[in-house]
Amino acid sequence: MIDIENIKQYQIETSGRWGSFAEDFDRLPTEHKDQITFLDKTATGFLYDFLNAAKLIANNDDPFSKNNFKSVEHFTNMSDEGGLKKWLYNREIPFRSEVFLLGDDSILTTWKMIVKYAPDLFFSNDVIVFDKTLNWCLFYFHHDHLFFGRDNVYDSTNDYIKMDEINRLKKKYPNMKFPY
């Protein structure tokens, strides 16, 4: 069974793509390549399902519109590479923190690699970066807009209560069809 703790078992050889150019990964220093793990389709599917279940993203135009984070910050000057890296650095995520990057590829890497290679990662398609704590999420919207949500306020307690009640009813009425 796949979960956040054993996701490294679902790694694949480099997809040959890191950032904006396919050949870039091969040119990275070994120290950096060692911090980047490409994940297979099974892991990718799991991460997208996990992300949806955690309700981190609402929609592309305003990913945190459901007030799922206490604070949301924006960055739009994507042409300023130094400013972009400084802005990401100032999010105060420890460099050694393992993070998931979902975009064209599914990748497990460190926050340091996100900051270091940000101009190559956030350039065209939507990209989502988060860690297993789900306490923060970075969303790049392909129209040169970064959103950073911090302090997740989503409480799954109500969902668990609702699902427990539905499961109880399914056991009590096994011949009845339920919407979930």
Indicate the DSSP class of residue 85: H
119 is a domain residue: yes
Q: Is residue 1 part of a domain?
A: no
Q: For residue 147, is it within any domain?
A: yes
Task: For residue 89, give the DSSP letter.
Answer: H
**Residue range 98-124: mean pLDDT, rounded:** 91
The DSSP secondary-structure symbol of 113 reads H
Q: Which of 9-23, 60-74, 114-128, 154-168 has the highest mean pLDDT?
A: 114-128
pLDDT tens-digit readout, 39-72? 998 888 888 888 887 778 877 667 887 778 899 9
Q: Please answer whether residues 13 and 40 qualify as being in contact, where contact means their C-beta atoms are separated by less than 8 angstroms.
A: no
Tell me whether residue 178 is in a domain: no
Q: Is residue 179 part of a domain?
A: no
Q: Which domain, by its residues, includes 96? A: 7-172
Residue 97: count other Cβ atoms within 10 Å of its Cβ: 15
CA distances to 37, 157, 158, 168, 176 from 161, rounded to whole Å, are 36, 6, 5, 11, 20
Residue 2 lies in a domain: no
The one-letter amino acid code at 114 reads I
**Strand arrangement of the beta sheet that strand 145-152 belongs to:** 11-12, 37-39, 106-110, 98-102, 127-130, 136-141, 145-152, 69-75
Query: Cβ neighbours of residue 36 under 8 Å, at least 6 residues apart?
Result: 14, 18, 25, 28, 107, 108, 109, 113
Instruction: Between 167 and 50, name the one with better pLDDT.
Output: 50
Residue 108 φ/ψ, nearest 5 degrees: -105, 125
Number of domains forming the structure of the chain: 1
Q: Would 55 be classed as within a structural domain?
A: yes
- Alpha-carbon gap, residue 166 to 180, rounded angstroms: 8
Tokens of 160: 């668990």
pTM here? Answer: 0.81
Residue 180 lies in a domain: no
Lowest-confidence segment of 19-28, 102-111, 128-137 by average pLDDT: 19-28
Residue predicted with more confidence, 91 or 66: 91
Maximum C-alpha span of the chain: 62
Q: State pLDDT tens for residues 15-42.
A: 656 665 556 787 889 999 899 999 998 8
CB distance 22 to 120 below 8 Å: no
